Amino acid sequence: MAKGNKGGKMIIITAPSGAGKTTIVKHLKSNFPELEFSVSATTRPKRIGEKHGRDYYFLTKDKFVEFIGEKAFLEWQEVYPGQFYGTLHSEVGRITDRGKSILFDIDVQGAMNLKQEFKGKSMAIFIKPPSLQILMDRLRNRGSESNEQLRKRIIKLKEELSYESAFDRVLINDDLSNALKEAESIVDEFLNS
């Protein structure tokens, strides 16, 4: 894959919750050694199987707010009430200092901010579910959220779907195998451009 890449490019993957973003990001990580994953910071609770420093930097709300005050974030958002997410300057620096290109798995608003920040050096890909109903079913089947959390996520995902035209590419995840191949093709083309 991407033999001509010299590092320093940004691949920004975003999607509404449940659209398959994390699966696609994991696939890209394993197929593009020149990409390094940018670990985001969050105040949300750790899910089963997640590890601090690998999946997210899990911070208390107080620590997150402290980092905001210190301007430690390149971008940050309160994605859901009381749940903050952000990209640390130190994380981006850690990766670029190694001569790697960065792979971001980030919420829609954060992706738009990064796309603006890294104009000309980034490819922003919006992962879209085949339908709103399928996406809602995926979220319910996760079993990781209460009915109230699901209700809030559904409101949020309707808003997020309205931003798809702001991204460089839209990838419809109606068949995972095809979506993975298409993501590979998009990333390979961008890294070698």
Tell me, what's the pLDDT at 1? 43
Look up residue 82 and give its DSSP letter.
Answer: T
Nearest to 115 by CA among 123, 126, 104: 123
- Give the percent of the chain with pLDDT over 90: 66
Half-sphere exposure of 145 (CA within 13 A, CB side): 19
Q: What CATH number is given for 10-191 in this structure?
A: 3.40.50.300
Mean pLDDT, residues 5-18 = 83
Report, as an integer, the average pLDDT of 7-35.
Answer: 92
First CA to last CA distance, the chain: 13
Contacts of 94 (CB under 8 A, 6+ apart): none
pLDDT at 71: 98
Helix residue ranges per DSSP H, 9-131: 21-31, 61-69, 89-96, 108-117
| Residue 118: predicted pLDDT | 92
Out of 18-27, 80-89, 125-134, 151-160, pick the least confident.
151-160
Q: Residue 46: pLDDT above 50?
A: yes
6: confidence class by pLDDT, cuts 50, 70, 90: low
Average pLDDT over every residue of 19-25: 90
Measured on CA atoms in the order 112, 113, 115, 119, is the torsion positive or negative? Answer: positive
Whole-number pLDDT of residue 27: 97
Q: Enter the pTM of the model.
A: 0.87
For 137-181, what is each residue's pLDDT tens digit?
777 787 777 788 778 777 887 888 889 899 999 999 999 999 999
| H-only helix segments in the chain | 21-31, 61-69, 89-96, 108-117, 132-142, 147-161, 176-191
**Greater confidence, 144 or 50?**
50
Q: Tokens 């210190």 label which residue?
A: 70
Ordered by start, the domain boundaries in the chain are: 10-191
Which whole number is the average pLDDT over 44-50? 92
Buried b (16+ CB within 10 A) or exposed e, 63-88: ebeebeeeebbbbbbebbeebbbbbb
User: What is the amino acid identity at position 33?
Assistant: P
Quick one: which of 29, 32, 16, 44 has its CA closest to 130?
A: 16
Please, what is the average pLDDT of the chain? 90
pLDDT in tens, 69-91: 999 999 999 988 889 999 999 99
Q: Is residue 2 scored above 70 in pLDDT?
A: no
Statement: residue 111 has pLDDT above 50: yes
Angle at 151 between CA 147 and CA 156, to 5 degrees: 145
Bridge partners of residue 157, in order along the sequence: none
Indicate the helix (H) or strand (E) that contains 35: strand 35-38
Hunting for tokens 């000309």 — which residue is that?
120
Q: What is the pLDDT of residue 76?
A: 96
